[in-house]
């Protein structure tokens, strides 16, 4: 029986070194620097990860090329056996190693994804991983910068409170040359608030009572946050009493109950009242201070035309200058000063105009005394100078008589 020879079987001893290298090279994946490769994590060191990508040697991913996050342990990013994608940075470094980057591979995909969302106006979401000068850094697959002024609707004092939290933001700027992505959380909040404003405005009606928080104070009133929209309490609607400045009644951050006075849907403005949530002291005024009644009050303010007197319970009346004394009065300060306790007679109560007219002169006549009118300061000075002049003339006459 003849021997059958199989030509497909050969001995390695018959293969030259050159032929062997060619055979090995034929089983190795071919790639260039910048290419994306997929491999299996075979070893995790404290400062690098080894990746099998089917090359003649295992690829090395240095710690700083694993993630966009700083100071992270390789074991926190990958596990042995994980299939991951990496970008070829150097096919052979000084030590003959193949250097790869997981971070850059993810960056390429993330940039395309974020760019698409930027073009379509969609929001991105990521975890706050760093607080830097002027803002926050978000992990959105790449490092996104969120300026401090765009973190919230109002300026945030402590940015560290956002560390580790997930934030939804809008991409407002992208620059590939500078690898720069700028985000805005404020844009998202403003859009949400706009929707909330429309919903709240549609439900508000005059007379409704709501709870809110004083968000800011201005000279003409106070703004109250109603949970997505601000309403204004005009200074005249803060109290039944006279108010010089809103800060006398409310403080920023204070929770208040307010009443809706008016809603302007076109201008998206809400007029609120604070005093309407308390009893109007003028309603019982007629009973407590009937015309002709004599009461004691405290002078709160002097004006050119008279003096305002506090009767208690938030009620102020005016003593006109003509009703201060029987004698002629040039200025209210001739009769009284702020803080003085005075007797006044109720002359008229006008509920519609919320005015009460008082008279010190009539009260004095009823009680049987006369209101003292002090001389004006200028008049006192003139009298003093006149007296000094008379004394001087007298002295000169006496000197002349002695000489004679």
Q: Tell me the pLDDT tens digit for each residue of 274-284.
A: 999 988 777 77
Of 76, 31, 29, 32, nearest to 55 (Cα)? 29
Residue 6, in any domain of the structure: no
Looking from the CA of 68 toward its CB, the CA atoms found within 13 Å total 22
- Considering the domain architecture, whether residues 51 and 102 belong to the same structural domain is answered as yes
Task: For residues 180 and 225, state if they share a domain.
Answer: no
**231 and 300 together in one domain:** no
Compute the distance between CA of residue 400 and CA of residue 397 in angstroms, rounded to an integer: 5
- Tell me which of 404 and 229 has the higher pLDDT: 229
In a domain, 23, yes or no: no
Do 362 and 286 share a structural domain? Answer: yes
Q: What is the pLDDT of residue 29?
A: 58
* Mean pLDDT value across residues 145-154: 92
What average pLDDT does the structure give for the chain?
A: 84
- 311 has a pLDDT exceeding 70: yes
* Same-domain check for residues 231 and 297: no
H helix intervals, 121-235: 185-203
pLDDT of residue 1 exceeding 50, the answer is: no
Query: If you average pLDDT over residues 45-73, what whole number do you get?
Result: 85
CA distance 378 to 294: 34
The verdict on residue 319 lying in a domain is yes
Question: Sign (positive/negative) of CA torsion 115, 119, 120, 125?
Answer: positive
Please indicate, yes or no, whether residues 160 and 180 belong to a single structural domain of this protein: yes
Shared-domain flag, residues 184 and 225:
no
Are residue 152 and residue 170 in the same domain, yes or no? yes
- Domain for residue 45, yes or no? yes
Q: Are 221 and 232 in contact (CB under 8 A)?
A: yes
Structure confidence at residue 30 (pLDDT): 67
Q: Which two tokens stand for residue 168?
A: 């939804």
CB 207 within 8 A of CB 260: yes
Q: Are 224 and 230 in contact (CB under 8 A)?
A: yes
| pTM value surpassing 0.75 | no
Same domain, yes or no: 298 and 270: no
Give how many domains the chain has, as a whole number: 4
Structure tokens at 205: 């009606």
**Last residue of one domain, picked from the residues 189, 218, 249:** 189
Final residue of a domain: which of 110, 144, 164? 110
pLDDT above 90 as % of the chain: 49
Q: Report the CATH number at residue 239.
A: 2.40.50.140
Asked if residue 157 lies in contact with residue 104, where contact means CB atoms within 8 angstroms, the answer is no
The reply to whether 197 falls in a domain is no
Enclosing domain of residue 65? 39-110
Neighbours of 318 (CB within 10 A): 19
Q: Are residues 265 and 218 in the same domain?
A: yes
Nearest 10 degrees: Cα torsion 288, 293, 297, 299: 120
> Do 155 and 177 reside in the same domain of the chain?
yes
Averaged pLDDT, 286-311: 91
Is the residue at 49 inside a domain? yes
The confidence score (pLDDT) of residue 376 equals: 82
Helices (H), 268-376: 285-288, 360-367
Residue 347 has pLDDT above 60, yes or no: yes
The number of residues making up the chain comes to 404
Q: Which of 189, 213, 247 is the last residue of a domain?
A: 189
Cβ atoms 68, 103 nearer than 8 A = yes
């Amino acid at each position: 029986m003849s021997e059958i020879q199989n030509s497909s079987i050969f001995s390695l001893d018959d293969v030259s070194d050159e032929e062997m290298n060619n055979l090995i090279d034929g089983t190795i994946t071919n790639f260039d620097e910048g290419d994306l490769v997929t491999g299996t994590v075979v070893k995790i060191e404290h400062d690098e990860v080894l990746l099998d990508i089917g090359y003649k040697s295992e690829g090395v991913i240095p710690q700083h090329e694993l993630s966009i996050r700083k100071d992270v342990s390789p074991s926190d990013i990958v596990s042995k056996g994980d299939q991951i994608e990496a970008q070829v940075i150097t096919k052979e470094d000084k030590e003959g190693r193949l250097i790869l980057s997981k971070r850059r591979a993810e960056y390429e995909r993330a940039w395309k994804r974020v760019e698409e969302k930027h073009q379509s106006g969609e929001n991105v979401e990521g975890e706050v991983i760093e607080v830097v000068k002027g803002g926050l850094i978000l992990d959105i697959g790449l490092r996104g910068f969120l300026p401090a002024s765009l973190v919230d609707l109002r300026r945030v004092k402590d940015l560290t409170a956002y560390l580790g939290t997930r934030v939804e933001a809008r991409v407002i700027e992208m620059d590939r040359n500078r690898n720069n992505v700028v985000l805005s959380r404020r844009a998202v909040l403003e859009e949400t608030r706009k929707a909330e404003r429309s919903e709240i405005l549609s439900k508000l009606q005059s007379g409704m009572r709501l709870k809110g928080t004083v968000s800011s104070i201005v000279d003409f009133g106070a703004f109250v946050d109603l949970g997505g929209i601000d309403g204004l309490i005009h200074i005249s609607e803060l109290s039944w009493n006279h108010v010089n400045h809103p800060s006398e009644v409310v403080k920023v951050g204070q929770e208040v109950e307010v009443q809706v006075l008016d809603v302007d849907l076109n201008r998206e403005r809400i007029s609120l009242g604070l005093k309407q949530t308390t009893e109007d002291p003028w309603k019982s005024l007629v009973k407590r201070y009937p015309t002709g009644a004599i009461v004691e009050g405290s002078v709160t303010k002097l004006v050119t035309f008279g003096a305002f007197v506090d009767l208690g319970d938030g009620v102020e009346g005016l003593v006109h200058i003509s009703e201060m004394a029987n004698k002629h009065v040039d200025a209210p300060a001739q009769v009284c000063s702020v803080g003085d306790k005075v007797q006044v007679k109720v002359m008229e109560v006008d509920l519609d105009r919320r005015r009460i007219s008082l008279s010190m002169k009539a009260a004095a006549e009823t009680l049987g005394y006369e209101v003292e009118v002090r001389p004006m300061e200028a008049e006192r000075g003139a009298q003093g100078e006149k007296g000094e002049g008379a004394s001087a003339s007298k002295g000169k006459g006496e000197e002349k008589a002695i000489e004679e």
